[in-house]
Amino acid sequence: MLWNLTLLFVVLAITYFLGIFFYRNKLTNKAQRILKLKRELSPIISEFIFHEEEDSKNEKSQYIKMKIEIREIIKDDFSRSILTEILLDLRKDISGEAQKRLLEVYQDLGLHHDAFAQLKSWRWEKVSKAILDLTLMQVPEAYRFMTKFINDKRSIIRKQAEIAVVSLKHEGLNYFLDTTQYKISEWQQLKLIEVIRNLEQYQPPKFKAWLTSTNTHVVLFALRLIKYYNQNDAKASLIELIKHKNNQIKEQAISCIKEFYMVDALPTLKAVFSKSATDIKIAILEAIAIMGNPSDIDFLRSVVNHESNFAVKSKAVSSINAIAPDSIIPTIGIENPDSTSILNNEVVTDELRQEPKKDVHKKKAHNVLNSEGLQEITNVLDTASEDAILEDIDLDFLPVVTANPVGKESIEKTSETPAALDENKEAVSIDFDVDALAFLPLVTENDQKISNKIKDSEEAIASVFDLNVTYTVVKAEQYRYTTKSVLPLNKLNTDFKRFSASDIFELTVNYTELHVEKPVENIVVNEPYFIEPSIINVRRNKKDTPPYARSTKSLFQKIMPLPKENIFKKILQKLIHIDEDVTINEREILKSPLLEFENEFIDINAIPNLDKAEESKPQKTTAYKIEIPKSELTDELITQWYIPEKDTEAALQLLLDDLEELGDFRELDVLNELLSSTANTAFIERIENLITRFSKEQEDLNFDLRPNPKINQKAFNVFEDLFQSCDLEAKLILLDEVVTVGDEGDLNFLEQLVCSEEAVLKTKAQQILKALQLKLNIPTEESVNVKNNSTSEISNNDTENISIEIIPTPKAYKQLMNTLEIEPSTETNDIFDIDFEVEFRTVELEEIDEVSPEKEKTKERASMMRQLYSFSTKIYKQLNG
């Protein structure tokens, strides 16, 4: 039984192998035959394509000879199919006159008849291929055959036929649109448009004719074509199609209407709006935005009010703004900068006092804390000379001590001060726009006890809401200007460059007393917001200064400039007496983000009290007792503001700070200039460091930007390619082949293999690499080592001898090949010139001694494999004569 089974499996195995060999050889021979035929046919085809009437007699006779020859060749079906294949291939590679001639050759040789025959096949792939061939070869006779496939059940054939019909004849599209009953996919529509686009001298029909088609896909395609060819004569149909049930048609119709600016469609668009889907609604709103007029805004407003869908609502808003720009301005998340202004005429009512609770407070307290809110302070500085007019100076350098949560609102104008405030004789009333006083500390009076446990600013803000505060309603239109040309400073700030210096100096500031109801105990102090005063332009012209600008100017002189180390310290000392012993219950310090201090002139370290407050920040909020002096700002209070002059060490220091933080290699020139101009060793060292850093960056950048001359495309390596799909045994066999046919290009591949994880492969690769190097006369690592060692040991006179030793000799190569059991090729490197029947020269063979029995066996095996390999080919050849 076992023997029978063995026999059966042996028979099966033999049959299997024979089958494989036979089939493989069949394929190989077919491929060879095709190649041979192609080589034979290609010059003939070239001759046909480039034959000209003006050719010489010799060429003409050659042409006729070839014509006869090709007629003979194409009698064979196989040859015909190959010829067709060649022509189809060439059709893709050539264009112009040569292509036209190629198409003629195809028809002249009657190859299209094969395609016609295949159209009758029941196999869809054959039919499809035939349609494709006929389409590519542009055989007009094929048109009538193609039309039959327009409504074929098989979608692939149908789609192929659609393209064929459209491309073969200009009226093909009309026929297709008239007759098709099936869906035309989006992709197919695009393909058809592409085909039509490439048709020469194509006159598109009036596609509105198909807007009445019963096939909705035809209508849709017609709409696309109408839009593509700008056929705007279908107004009535398009407007009617807005009411179509199909959303795609509706959308396409709206798109056309929008494209052709059909204003007449607006009423219909509005009418269908309510019942439309969201996408359609958006499309309608887009159309109204483009074509609409102010009378449509009401409709759009009603959409905004009644529509629940956010996208539609947003679109309606944008449409309103498109028709009437800036009709609707952003309202959500917008801070009201006017809320910080003080109005003279406003009396705070009881209602208003009670109305704003936590939410409002919170928002406004944020305003106070938020640096943005503090950036509105703009002022002008006159330095030494009274006549100097300075522009663009910010005064956000002073601490903000909030008097109440709403900060600046607590300060009110004298004339309208509530009675309660008036009664307090010590109250300070200031009569000017609050922004002008933004440099002053804002003091918060707190009647309630602030919790000891407040640790973060959020909680601090929340606690501020509990303060007993006086509120003022502030409206933008209620600004009262004390002189004819005074503008609100916040506005002045934003549009500063629009105003002349005289406008700024027209601002009148009247000092009023600052009212404090009780001795201040619980005060919230915001840390100052520092902005570097920037002087854009100084114009020293007396005439530019109006007489009424004096009062403001004096204030500026009082404020600016002050040496940086003194300014904050002095103001704090004059205005607020800080007592560190007061407990936390009494007061909290709210700290604005210290980020604001970056790149500023103010040296925080120079302000001791602030430092202490800052140091204590992470651990525990420090409490301070602050006393507000009940006096006006005096000249002594505000002295010179520090502005570092150019070319000073401080300026250089700042410049280097900036460069260090923000600079890049572009600053190298500046740095080199600075290096040559400065004598300070500390600066020199710093500049040198920066130069080094930026130079490196530049090098890196240059390296990145440099066009890479090396091509990333790796050269194709046949062995590497084969290795990817091989098992270990096959890899080892392939490695043997590398020695035989390999060249320099394979060295890299072998080096990669040497690093392989598989020990067998690694060893083999090492041997092969060595053998290949020997073969190619490339010094191996060993030989190089030998050379190095030798040169070090032996005198120069002996170098020649050594070099003789290390150059790989044919003997060494063959010895190695013998070790590897590989038959080496001839010396040629060309893969196509390899003679696999190479024999060693007798002399060299004699030199090869001692072959182990194991190696002999392997050799025999290899020879057997070769015989098996060629066996099937031989059988096939014999069978085929």
Q: Which token pair is 447?
A: 């009647």
Residue 528 vs 742, nearer CB to other proteins: 742
> Per rule CB under 8 A, is residue 336 in the interface with other proteins?
no
For residues 732 to 761, the per-residue mask of contacts with other proteins, x marking binding by CB under 8 A and - elsewhere, is: -------------x----------------
Cβ–Cβ < 8 Å for 98, 49: yes
Residue 90 vs 687, nearer CB to other proteins: 90
What is the C-alpha R_g of the chain?
A: 47
> Per rule CB under 8 A, is residue 705 in the interface with other proteins?
no
Among 330, 707, 853, 881, binds other proteins (CB under 8 A): 707
Among 354, 716, 792, 795, binds other proteins (CB under 8 A): 716
Query: Nearest CA to 202 among 234, 183, 174?
Result: 174
Residue 45 vs 450, nearer CB to other proteins: 45
Query: Nearest CA to 316 among 299, 325, 308, 304?
Result: 304
**Which part of the chain contacts other proteins (CB under 8 A), choosing from 233-241, 248-256, 589-597, 707-715?**
707-715
Residue 122 vs 716, nearer CB to other proteins: 716
Q: Quote the DSSP letter at residue 84.
A: H
CB of 689 vs other proteins, minimal distance in Å: 36
> Per rule CB under 8 A, is residue 709 in the interface with other proteins?
yes
Residue 100 vs 449, nearer CB to other proteins: 100
Beta bridge partners of 378: 394
CB of 50 vs other proteins, minimal distance in Å: 6
Report the Cα–Cα distance between both ends of the chain, in Å, rounded. 42
> Per rule CB under 8 A, is residue 94 in the interface with other proteins?
yes
Q: Give the integer Cα–Cα distance in Å for 867 and 4.
A: 29
**Which part of the chain contacts other proteins (CB under 8 A), choosing from 63-71, 91-99, 301-309, 327-335?**
91-99
Residue 35 vs 794, nearer CB to other proteins: 35
What are the two backbone dihedrals, phi and then psi, of residue 401, each rounded to the nearest 5 degrees?
-110, 110
Residue 42 vs 858, nearer CB to other proteins: 42
> Per rule CB under 8 A, is residue 99 in the interface with other proteins?
yes
> Per rule CB under 8 A, is residue 679 in the interface with other proteins?
no
CB of 764 vs other proteins, minimal distance in Å: 24
Say whether 430 sits in a helix, a strand or coil: coil
Q: Which token pair is 82?
A: 């190959």
> Per rule CB under 8 A, is residue 848 in the interface with other proteins?
no
CB of 325 vs other proteins, minimal distance in Å: 39
Cβ atoms within 10 Å of 817's Cβ, excluding its own:
21
H/E run at residue 521: none
CB of 169 vs other proteins, minimal distance in Å: 23
Nearest 5°: the CA angle 551, 552, 558 is 100
Residue-wise over 300-328: b if at least 16 C-beta within 10 A, else e? beebbeebeeeebbebbbebbbbbeeeeb
Cβ–Cβ < 8 Å for 380, 313: no
C-alpha torsion 817→818→820→821, nearest 10 = 110
CB of 90 vs other proteins, minimal distance in Å: 6
Q: Quote the DSSP letter at residue 524.
A: E
Residue 290 vs 834, nearer CB to other proteins: 834
**What are the residues whose beta carbons fall under 8 Å from the beta carbon of 732, sequence distance 6 or more?**
760, 761, 764
Q: Give the integer Cα–Cα distance in Å for 847 and 812.
A: 10
Residue 90 vs 462, nearer CB to other proteins: 90
Contact set for other proteins, span 417-476 (CB under 8 A): none
> Per rule CB under 8 A, is residue 287 in the interface with other proteins?
no
Q: Give the integer Cα–Cα distance in Å for 716 and 790.
A: 39
H/E run at residue 590: strand 588-590
What are the two backbone dihedrals, phi and then psi, of residue 453, each rounded to the nearest 5 degrees?
-90, 10
CB of 711 vs other proteins, minimal distance in Å: 5
CB of 368 vs other proteins, minimal distance in Å: 55
Q: Give the integer Cα–Cα distance in Å for 387 and 382.
A: 8
CB of 98 vs other proteins, minimal distance in Å: 5
> Per rule CB under 8 A, is residue 711 in the interface with other proteins?
yes
Among 98, 209, 834, 875, binds other proteins (CB under 8 A): 98
Contact set for other proteins, span 15-54 (CB under 8 A): 38-39, 42-43, 45-47, 49-50
Q: Give the integer Cα–Cα distance in Å for 703 and 726.
A: 40
Residue 25 vs 167, nearer CB to other proteins: 167
Among 90, 266, 576, 765, binds other proteins (CB under 8 A): 90
Among 53, 57, 58, 92, binds other proteins (CB under 8 A): 92
CB of 805 vs other proteins, minimal distance in Å: 30
> Per rule CB under 8 A, is residue 704 in the interface with other proteins?
no
CB of 196 vs other proteins, minimal distance in Å: 20
CB of 66 vs other proteins, minimal distance in Å: 12
Residue 11 vs 722, nearer CB to other proteins: 722
Among 70, 86, 317, 643, binds other proteins (CB under 8 A): 86
Q: Pairing state of beta strands 393-394 and 588-590?
A: unpaired
Residue 812, burial from CB neighbour count under 10 angstroms (0-12, 13-18, 19+): middle
Residue 100 vs 475, nearer CB to other proteins: 100
How far is Cα of residue 214 from the mean position of the Cα atoms in its chain? 45
C-alpha torsion 350→352→356→361, nearest 10 = -100
Residue 200 vs 669, nearer CB to other proteins: 200
Q: Which token pair is 666?
A: 């572009």
Q: Give the integer Cα–Cα distance in Å for 99 and 240.
A: 47
H/E run at residue 394: strand 393-394
> Per rule CB under 8 A, is residue 62 in the interface with other proteins?
no
How far is Cα of residue 413 from the mean position of the Cα atoms in its chain? 55
**Which part of the chain contacts other proteins (CB under 8 A), choosing from 84-92, 133-141, 335-343, 487-495?**
84-92
CB of 45 vs other proteins, minimal distance in Å: 7
> Per rule CB under 8 A, is residue 57 in the interface with other proteins?
no
CB of 769 vs other proteins, minimal distance in Å: 20
CB of 61 vs other proteins, minimal distance in Å: 16
**Which part of the chain contacts other proteins (CB under 8 A), choosing from 88-96, 397-405, 674-682, 819-827?**
88-96
H/E run at residue 785: helix 781-793
Chain length of the chain: 881
**Which part of the chain contacts other proteins (CB under 8 A), choosing from 62-70, 95-103, 228-236, 337-345?**
95-103
> Per rule CB under 8 A, is residue 765 in the interface with other proteins?
no
> Per rule CB under 8 A, is residue 95 in the interface with other proteins?
yes
Nearest 5°: the CA angle 417, 422, 425 is 140
Residue 275 vs 706, nearer CB to other proteins: 706
Q: Give the integer Cα–Cα distance in Å for 631 and 629.
A: 6
Cβ–Cβ < 8 Å for 401, 358: no
Residue 47 vs 600, nearer CB to other proteins: 47
Query: Nearest CA to 689 among 677, 673, 676, 671?
Result: 671
CA distances from residue 307 to 76, 533, 715 in whole angstroms, order as listed: 74, 50, 63
Own/partner pairs for 478-482, CB < 8 Å, 24+ apart?
Answer: 478/343, 478/345, 478/346, 479/341, 479/343, 479/433, 480/343, 480/344, 480/345, 482/432, 482/507, 482/508, 482/510
Residue 87 vs 265, nearer CB to other proteins: 87
Residue 50 vs 261, nearer CB to other proteins: 50
Total chain residues near other proteins (CB under 8 A)? 28
Q: Which residues in this chain contact other proteins in the complex, by CB under 8 A?
A: 38-39, 42-43, 45-47, 49-50, 86, 89-90, 92-99, 707, 709-711, 713, 715-716, 745
